[in-house]
Every structure is written in structure tokens, then in C-alpha cells.
Structure 1
Amino acid sequence: MNRKVELLVPASSLEVLKIAVIYGADAVYIGGEAFGLRAKAKNFTMEEMAEGIAFAHAHNVKVHVTANILAHNYDLEGVRQYLTELENMKPDRPDALIIADPAIFMIAGEVAPHIERHISTQANNTNYETYLFWHKLGADRVVAARELSLKEIKEIRAHIPEEMEIESFIHGAMCISYSGRCLLSNYFTGRDANKGACTHPCRWKYSVVEEKRPGEYLPVYENERGTFIFNSKDLCMIEHIPDMIDAGIDSFKIEGRMKTALYVATVARTYRKAFDDFFTSREQYEANMDWYREQIRSCTYRQFTTGFFYGKPSEDAQIYDNNTYEQGYTYLGIVGKPNADGLYRMEQRNKFSVGEQIEIMKPNGENQIATVTAMRDEDGLPIESCPHSKQIFFVELDEGRTLDEYDILRRRENHPIALD
């Protein structure tokens, strides 16, 4: 079977969905207002979902909707109503549902028969018999557990039907717990990771307490800020796409339904070019490796690892000595349509000013350095800066710099930022 690979990109909002589509996604995955595992994400109302699906489909991009909580009895009637609404969406419905719970899987088969069912990594899919189990029940795709090596994924491909698809993460945050088994957040705070409310306790700072000396905290020093013994590096497989394709993976998933439009655009654009280069020629892919690395490191990240793909990770897959993101750029805003005077509409994400040098990030991979020559408010009055969050204004750049709708403006930084 001649397999067509898919670049699957996250979207936390309608704005980010449009950016994911424009910057190279073959498919996007989103959450509704309930029954997904990112309760703190903005998520989509039904109206926004309908608009997003129509936009994606107009660009030949698919939309997958998460319904991957582990349900309790009181969830089931709401799940049935929600999935029925998705099935009845007009003129476009979602292309797939991402599901972890067998009950939700069966309900989806009953009330949403025209939407594909994909099995979430939350369902702990670690062997080919599990894939065959879900295939026999009607699943079109299974998402590999993050703990699998490429060798194991290749073995799964050899034992499942050709038409069954394998999805695997290629980039983004890792969890220190086994897929679908994390209870730390619920234990510590009462907020259930399996219901979408994870507080990310693996990012916290820890000390040791001796049994007979309660309340006496003994710090485990790695540096002056403490130690972060559960804190995983981020997955990045940009240098290993050929190995992942060889393993038989169909869909390559970027983690990040809580991320900004700048992050999504940067990562989607980079992996899009890497895949396109690889399928043009192996030599072109290898020749552009430095560009991929530079672009990936330009957005916010922790430090990188290849996870479990080449076997059990070594100790250097964990971050013990710091709890910071590396930040390459600050996100300034997305370019909208021009007004009658030729100035482009913007909605502020971070403050910038007239006279400042910024960078224009374009979907085709081009980056242009530009100087802000003028800014006007919504009434057309000149302003020197845009100090208010989400402020609407219009911007003009120096001569020779052209803007297009969905270009992103950003400012280069070179300092780390602390995790929350």
C-alpha cells in the first residue's frame, strides 16, 4: 500500500486553527467545550467548531475532535448528546473523533456513524493485539503509546491490516507517567488528569521528607532553584523523520493544544517543509537540517529528547537542574486584512512600538526583517505603541516589506523564561 503521511497539528482556538491550516497542517485536532483532555485550553463552542471545520475543509485539511476523557456514569448521557450534535453538524461535520474510553467508543459508533473513530494514546496502546482489538470493533486509527520504540511500532505495522492507521507523536511535551495512567494531579489537588484538568505536578519542585521528621524538608540540590526530578525534556524528531516513516507511521502528531499561534505556526511550518523536502529527495531533507533546527529552536521549548523511540531513554531525557523554557521569539500578533490606506489590521499579543525592528514570519518558510514605521488606532489616529492586550490597531512597515493575511509578527529574544 502506498501510504500518504499526515501532519497533524493542534489548535486551541479558532484563530490557532486557521494558523495551523495556513502554515502546513494536513489535519488539525481540537477540543470542544466538554469531554476532552485539555479542560484549561480555550476550546471551541459548537459555532466556532462549525466555522473552523468549514475553513479547514475549504483548504483540504481534516479536523479531528477530542472526546478522550475516561468517563464516569454521570458523563455518559452528556457524551451521547454531544456526539449526536457533532454527527448532525451541517454542512460539515468533524472527520474523526479521538477516543480513549470503550463506552464513548461504542456510543460514537451508535450516534455518529459517519465520523471516523481514532483511539487516543490515553488508552495505553502498546502492542499489535490491542490494535487488532480496536480494529475489529471498528476503529480506523490507533495512537501509539509514547513508551513505544520505533522497532515496536514497526512490529505493530507488520501485524495489522494495511488499511489501519498508526498515529504517533513527533514533537512536543512528554509526560513522566505511563500513557493513560497518571494519577498525580488527582492525588495532590483533586483535579483529574483523566478528566482534562491536569495541574502538571511533574513540573513542580520537590524536596525529601524523612519519616520521623515530618515537616522538615530536605532539599535535593541541583542548583540554587532546587531540583525538578520528574521534569521531562520535550520530544523532537525533526532529525529522524526517515526512521519514523520507515516504521510505518501514517499520522505524525504535534503536541500542544495549550500553545500559542506563534508556536503552532513555527512547528507546523518547519515539519511541513521537512516532510516536503524528504519526499522530494533525501539529499534535500539533509541539506536543510540546519534550517529546521534553527526554526524549531526559535519557538518556546524546554530542551529536546527523542523519547522512547530508540529504546529506553537515558538519564539525560530528564531535566534535573532547571525549570525554564528557552524562548527564541516573542509573539506580537497575526496580520489581518489591509484597510483603505493600505495599513494592516492587527490584534496585539505583546507590546511593540514605532521604530522597533521586528520579523515577519510567512507560511512559505520565508522570514523578513522589518521596521515599524507607523501605527494607528481603530479611529485612524497615530499611536507610538500598542500597550493593551488584544488591542486592535493598524501597522505600516518600512518600504519593500509586504504583508499578507495570516503572516505572523514576532520579535527576537535571547533569554529564558521560568515555567509556571
Structure 2
Amino acid sequence: MKRAELLAPAGNMEKMKMAFHYGADAVYLGGKVFNLRAGSHNFTEEELREAVRYAHDRDKTVWVTLNIIPHDHETAGLAEYVKFLDEIGVDGVIVADLGVFQIVQENSNLAISVSTQSSNTNWRSVKMWHEMGAKRVVLARENTLENIALIREKVPGIEIEVFIHGAMCMSVSGRCLLSNYMTARDANRGDCAQSCRWKYSIVEGGKDNEGDYKEVLDGDEPTHIFSSKDLCTIEIIDKILDLGVDSLKIEGRMKGIYYVSNVVRSYREALDSYYSGSYKYDEKWLRELETISHRKYTTGFYFGQPDSDAQNYNNRNSYSQSHQLVAKVVEKVDENTYILAVRNRIFSGEELEVISNTGEPKIITLPTMTQIKGNFEEEVEVSHPNTTVRITLNTDISELDMVRRVLPEEKE
């Protein structure tokens, strides 16, 4: 059976390495130009060379985003950049605009994936892209399982990629003008201010009740009325795989390493279970996905038009999470000694969890730490973010493991 690719976001080199370590088959990432995540760290040309080498040494795949929707003056240098990507061995590029599509074809042999920004929701548009030379189409999030099955049937020769996890947009395939209108930051040039995530109080004042405004929502506090819940398909992943799609995409180039690693890890286990021939849903997958910072989850459009439950209409607190990343294991010095890069303040004597790319979390009690500052070392009971410490543990852990704490339960 042909296996679907598990495709993870990589906002920088560290996130890419973590994505591969925790089970991704491929990553998508952006260079410093021509991509829709201006706020992400992104990759210099030298970093792109290194990323491709690193991925190919592990039989992994790299897709580079060229998904900007440009004006003419913004295409300057694109042809040369495309030639560079081809020369360093990038596996393919993600394109939203027809002009960019043509420039890629004229200047390289790169495989082209048509971005979700192109809003493909029917088989004829997918067929047209295929006839123009696209290798893959990233379907719009507004497709149902039934739609995807029909597209797969009608256009068997093209690869189909679908989103399985991450942020959802209030507009069709991200074609939103709110940010541009309210902050002069253009979402279609990678600079979205995410105006839909803000709190609003909404009133209605139609022509029949001019001057007599009525509250759209009851209550005294603003709400996240325009903010969609996050997409999560872990409970229906077998139904998506049954369709014969080629790539499963996780959203989140702006998210941290804990998000990327844990989401990849959960879906990797689900995919491996599916391809084992004896698939069985495991509730721990969803529990782990609830440990990361997220909005409440929805299955989006997969079962048809989402109802009012897909928006955060009455959700006063837009985000929730049950755990917090506090450190990453950067080196195993010997059998019992480890170097940690601290991400959030940690305390000697507190109980923490360590998660690896396989297996269950391990419970540890953090010992007294030795903080490392160049040639200077000192024992500490508390270590702060952006410090490096050495610890001695009887528990066996590994490089790139993540250390997390359980947060207090949120009150409704």
C-alpha cells in the first residue's frame, strides 16, 4: 500500500530537525522572500542548502513555499531564486499564483504543488492544474470527504494534499482582507495581523432598524466571534486515509518546537497504526494534542458545512493547553548526565515529564542543576529561560527529548 506523506511545518532549522526526529516524512518551509510567513524566522540561502542536505541524508523531503500573490514589482529576482532552489536540490515548490507558476516552469525542473490559496474545491480545477504541469494540489480546507473522494476518482494522476491539523481561517482558503483593511498588513503577502483572532462586540443595524442597533451576541464581554476553532482530524484520520490522498499537512510554521513535535508524533502513531493493517484509534493521541497551546478543536468541513460550533462564539479564552515545554535535551554526555536547553523557568525538586519520539512520557524529579556559562559553572535550584544546565538522572532519556510540566487545570 502506498503510504501518505506526513508533511510538517518548519519555521526554522531547529523546528525542521525536530519534525523529522518525531516522525515527519517531509517539511515545508520558506526562504527569506516570496512566501506567506513574513513573521517566521525563515531560511537564508545557506540555511536552505543545509536543510536540503540534512533532509536528503535521512531520505526526507523539502518543499519550499513560493505562495505569495505578487504584484509585478514583487516578482523581481524570482526567476534567479527559482534557479537557485533547483540547483540545491529542493524537492518541490508550493505556488499559489499563475504568474509564479509560469516563472517556475520556465526556469527550473522543480515539482510544483498548487497552494491551498488557489482555493481548489472541484475536480475540474484540479484537472486543469494537472494538465498545466502541476505534480500536486493542496486542496482548500472547504472540501468534504465526499468532495475529496470525487476529485481522487476524476483526477487519478495528480497528488492530493489535505490539511489535517492546525489553525483555520474565517475566509475561504485564507483569502481575508480584514488584516489589510484594519492594519495595512496584507495577508496575501505573508503579513497577516490575524485580526480575526481579536475580541469583538458585534451589533446589527440593518435598514429596517436604522439607529436601533441590536447585539448579535448576548453578554457584557467581547467574544472571539470571528475566530475559528482549530482543525483536528486525529479521530477521523482513517477516513481521510481511506480516500487515497498523498500528503497530510500540518499547519503551523509560526508555532514552537513543542507544537510541531507533539503534533507530528501523534499523527505518526496514528498513520503507523493505519498502515499496520489493524488500525485502532487510541484516545491518547487526542490527549497529547490537547497538551499543546490550541483553540478548541473542530473537524472543519470534512463532514459538510461547519455549524455554529466551529467558531469561538462564546469562548472567552481563545487558547488552552494542559502542559508547558520547559526544556529540550540537547546532549547526552554519558549514561546518566544530560545537557538541557531551558525554555521556561524550572525548579529543583519539581516533578516533570519527558517525552521522546516513541513511547509513553517518563516522570522525573528535577535534581539540583549545574548552570553552564562559558567556562563558569555553578549549582542552582532555579534555572531561567535561555540558559543551559547539566543534570544527573537515573532515568534514561535521549537527545531531542522534550521536558514539560503539567499546568494547573483551567477553570471554566
1:227 and 1:410 map into 2 onto residues whose CA distance is: 30
Match of 1:318 in 2: 311
Q: What are the equivalent positions in structure 2 for 1:320-359 lying under 5 Å apart? A: 320-322=313-315, 323-339=317-333, 343-359=337-353
C-alpha deviation, 1:381, in angstroms: 2.0
The alpha carbon displacement at 1:4 in A equals 2.3
Distance 2:113 2:217 in 1: 43
Q: Which residue of 1 aligns with 2:52?
A: 53
Deviation track 1:103-128 (CA, whole Å, cap 9, x = no partner) reads 11111112221x21100000111111
Work out whether 1:102 is the aligned partner of 2:98.
yes
Q: Which residue of 2 aligns with 1:365?
A: 359
Distance 1:382 1:95, change over 3 A: same
Q: Alpha-carbon deviations, 1:34-67, whole Å to 9, x = none?
A: 1111111111122222222222222221111111
Structure 2 residues without counterparts, runs of 5 or longer: none
Question: Is it true that 1:175 corresponds to 2:172 in the alignment?
Answer: no
CA contact (8 A) 1:219 1:226 kept: no
Distance 2:338 2:199 in 1: 44
SS of structure 1 residue aligned to 2:280: helix
- Of 233-242 and 190-199, the range deviating more from structure 2: 233-242
Aligned position for 1:16: 15
Counterparts in 2 of 1:102 and 1:264: CA distance versus 1, 3 Å: same
Q: Is the 8 A contact 1:125 1:144 kept in 2?
A: yes
**Aligned match of 1:249:** 245
- Correspondence 1:186 to 2:180: yes
Matching residue of 2:81: 82
Q: Distance in 1 between matches of 2:60 and 2:379?
A: 40
d(CA) in 2 for partners of 1:180, 1:319: 18
Q: How far apart are residue 269 of structure 1 and its match?
A: 0.4
**Residue from 155, 163, 184 that aligns with 1:160:** 155
Aligned equivalent of 1:28: 27
Residues 216, 83 of structure 1: CA spacing in aligned structure 2 closer, same or farther, 3 A cutoff?
Answer: farther
Tell me how far apart the structure 2 counterparts of residues 381 and 228 of structure 1 sit (CA, whole Å): 47
What's 1:385 paired with?
382
Are 1:374 and 2:382 counterparts?
Answer: no
Q: Secondary structure at the match of 1:268?
A: helix
Determine if the alignment matches structure 1 residue 150 to structure 2 residue 145. Answer: yes
- Which residue does the alignment assign to 2:68? 69
Percent identity between the aligned chains?
41
Measured on the aligned residues, the alpha-carbon RMSD in Å equals 2.3
The answer to whether the 8 Å contact 2:93/2:111 transfers is: yes
Deviation at 1:180, TM superposition (A): 4.5
In the alignment, the residues of structure 1 paired with residue 294 and residue 340 of structure 2 have an alpha-carbon distance, to the nearest angstrom, of 26
Which piece of structure 1 moves more, 377-386 or 186-195? Answer: 377-386
Q: Give the AA of the match of 1:185.
A: S
Aligned residues: 405
Give the deviation of 1:224 after TM superposition. 4.9
Q: Hey, what does 1:198 align to over in structure 2?
A: 192
User: Quick check: 2:145–2:302 contact (8 Å CA) kept in 1?
Assistant: yes
In structure 1, what residue type is equivalent to 2:126? Y
> Would you identify which runs of 4 or more consecutive aligned residues in structure 1 move more than 6 Å?
211-219
TM-score by length of 1: 0.91
Separation in structure 2 between the aligned mates of residue 20 and residue 302 of structure 1, nearest angstrom: 21
SS at match of 1:262: helix
Amino acid in structure 2 at the alignment position of 1:147: E
Distance in 2, matches of 1:53 and 1:222, equals: 53
Identify if the C-alpha distance between structure 1 residues 154 and 262 changes in structure 2 by more than 3 Å, giving closer, same or farther. same
Q: 1:373 to 1:112 in 2, by over 3 A?
A: same
Further displaced range: 115-124 or 323-332: 323-332
Native 8 Å contact 1:361 1:409 kept in 2: yes
* Distance in 2 between residues matched to 1:14 and 1:342, nearest whole Å: 28
1:161 deviation in Å? 3.1
Q: TM-score, normalised by structure 2?
A: 0.92
Q: 1:308 to 1:341 in 2, by over 3 A?
A: closer
Q: 406-415 or 203-212, which moves further after superposition?
A: 203-212
Secondary structure at the residue paired with 1:259? coil
Shift of 1:365: 3.1
User: Of residues 270, 294, 312 in structure 2, which corresponds to 1:301?
Assistant: 294
Shift of the 326–216 alpha-carbon distance from structure 1 to 2, 3 Å rule, reads: farther
Higher mean displacement: 15-24 or 228-237: 228-237
After the TM superposition, which residues 268-307 of structure 1 pair with which residues of structure 2 at under 5 Å, given as runs?
268-282=264-278, 284-286=279-281, 289-307=282-300
**Alpha-carbon shift at residue 333 of structure 1 (Å):** 2.2
The answer on whether the counterparts of 2:201 and 2:221 sit within 8 Å (CA) in structure 1 is: no
Instruction: Please report how far the alpha carbon of residue 373 of structure 1 lies from its aligned counterpart in structure 2 after TM superposition.
Output: 1.1
> 2-side partners of 1:241 and 1:315: how far apart?
23
Whole-angstrom distance in 2 between the partners of 1:231 and 1:403: 39
Structure 2 equivalent of residue 130 of structure 1: 125
Q: Deviations over 1:63-83 (max 9, x none)?
A: 111110101111112222222
- Taking a change above 3 Å as real, the CA distance of residues 104 and 280 of structure 1, as seen in their structure-2 partners, is same
Indicate the SS of the match to 1:377: strand
Superposition deviation, residue 339 in structure 1: 3.8
2-side partners of 1:222 and 1:38: how far apart? Answer: 36
